[in-house]
Structure 1
Amino acid sequence: METLQTECTPDEHTQIITDVRFRPNSTQLATSSFDKSVRLWDAANPRYSLQTYTGHTSHVMSLDFHPKKNDVFCSCDDNNEIRLWNINQYSCTRISKGGSAQVRFQPRIGQLLAAASDNVVSIFDIESDRQTHSLQGHSTKVHSVCWDVNGEYLASVSQESVRVWSLTTGECIHELSSSGNKFHSCVFHPGYATLLVIGGYQSLELWNMAENKCMTVAAHECVISALAQSQAIGMVASASNDKCVKIWK
């Protein structure tokens, strides 16, 4: 990241890579793919994958690591199947239904898991293996979800709108219609708790939820497929189908 030079380009997945997540407090990361597998890598020595996790019978669409139990991660496929894995046992420990687009653990404590499938976002209690909320309101497919830094609020993005939910009540507390821009991704701003960064077609929307005001920033030449933020350095990264990644300050 200091030089922005490519260190290594390992090529082991045989089809599209759909998600990439770092293992907490580690240089390791995992990738999910259309090739029905999840692979574990070490960014300090990335030439070969460390381990391959197989068992999904369809395209693996997303994965995420538990924030505290860093030997645990989950993945979902486009057959709506969620698998919970133990890294050290190389095995799937639990299979459930309810996620086909994206899965994200609640930050810090990791008690809850948010999973998007079609136009519904389901919240699961990982410890008791039960669904606690079914967040409904989107009229089209939910592309992505993201938690705020404390894990109290969840944002969900579909092409036509962004919704922010309170996990205390299970209610939608803020909603923004796309007004023509096709929304695809979102992330809470690393420095301002009431600001949501939304990736659409070519542009970023900065949405002040408290005042319900928006600012549009031209960003890419295609859809902004993914966003990430760093609390440590206060920056946001955007990835687009135009083959570019950009860092924003």
Structure 2
Amino acid sequence: MSLDFHPTKEDLIFSCDSSSEIRYWSIKNGTSAGVFKGGATQLRFQPCFARILATAADNFVSIFDVETQSCRAKLQGHKNQVHSVCWDTSGEYLASVSDELVRVWNIGSGSKADCIHELSCPGNKFRTCIFHPTYPSLLVIGCNENLEFWNITENKRMTMHAHEKLVSALAVSNTGLVASASHDKCVKIWK
């Protein structure tokens, strides 16, 4: 369902499947190096801190310590399945997206994580999100045909028609470009 490279161990890639298994693989020899339970929809490593992994499953997000394979926190508050998670570049904030709700969490030390911002849009179809690399308080959200730009600190939104179908994936470059992929079979680059 999802995968992510380990931030510091170049030989490891992590994947999750619909059975809630998180498996890590040796890239050099192509074998499974270990497995533990906890992810189904998406997983993402926290930047800067190689041991923290956020995983989405059902209507919650788990924060795992990959070295101990233990759950540090379970982030709850979504009523529907969480489709996407993403970290800001500092690794301090995590965003989670379900159909009608986006939550931004402050991931503290230990097992504490607080929801600090929430965007609720009944009837919307949020699917994916990414923090903008050069504007840290701007969250880009992929929806049905649109991109939502949410300035978290000012709680202001701007909607832009982007595709003819659901925006299913987003990526950012270090130079500030945003890429969107959609079920309309197009990938677009935004400046």
Query: What is the match of residue 145 of structure 2?
Result: 202
> Counterpart amino acid of 1:153?
Y
Please give the alpha-carbon distance, in whole angstroms, between the structure 1 residues aligned to 2:187 and 2:36. 34
Structure 1 residue aligned with 2:120, among 168, 173, 177? 177
Query: What is the match of residue 73 of structure 1?
Result: 13
Query: What is the match of residue 116 of structure 1?
Result: 56
Query: What is the match of residue 104 of structure 2?
Result: 164
TM-score normalised per structure 1: 0.74
The alignment-based identity, stated in percent, is: 59
Please give the alpha-carbon distance, in whole angstroms, between the structure 1 residues aligned to 2:127 and 2:186. 16
Shift of 1:89: 3.5
Structure 1 residue aligned with 2:41, among 82, 101, 107? 101
Structure 1 residue aligned with 2:4, among 40, 59, 64? 64
Shift of 1:85: 1.4
Please give the alpha-carbon distance, in whole angstroms, between the structure 2 residues aligned to 1:170 and 1:213. 24
> Counterpart amino acid of 1:97?
K
Larger radius of gyration: 1
Provide runs of 4+ in structure 1 moved above 4 Å: none
Please give the alpha-carbon distance, in whole angstroms, between the structure 1 residues aligned to 2:60 and 2:131. 20
> Counterpart amino acid of 2:149?
L
Instruction: Tell me whether 1:234 sits opposite 2:166 in the alignment.
Output: no
Please give the alpha-carbon distance, in whole angstroms, between the structure 2 residues aligned to 1:129 and 1:96. 7
Shift of 1:178: 2.2
1:18-167 equivalent positions in 2, closer than 5 A: 61-167=1-107
Shift of 1:93: 1.8
- In the alignment, structure 2 segments of 5+ residues that lack a partner are none
Shift of 1:180: 2.5
> Counterpart amino acid of 2:186?
C
Instruction: Tell me whether 1:225 sits opposite 2:165 in the alignment.
Output: no
Q: Deviations over 1:23-53 (max 9, x none)?
A: xxxxxxxxxxxxxxxxxxxxxxxxxxxxxxx
Shift of 1:238: 0.2
> Counterpart amino acid of 1:208?
N
Q: Deviations over 1:178-223 (max 9, x none)?
A: 2432100000012111110000000110001101110000100001
Q: Deviations over 1:100-136 (max 9, x none)?
A: 1001111133220111001010010111221101000
Query: What is the match of residue 192 of structure 1?
Result: 135
Aligned length: 188
> RCO greater where, 1 or 2, for CA within 8 Å and sep 6 or more?
2
Shift of 1:88: 1.9
Shift of 1:90: 2.3
Query: What is the match of residue 187 of structure 2?
Result: 245
> Counterpart amino acid of 1:187?
I
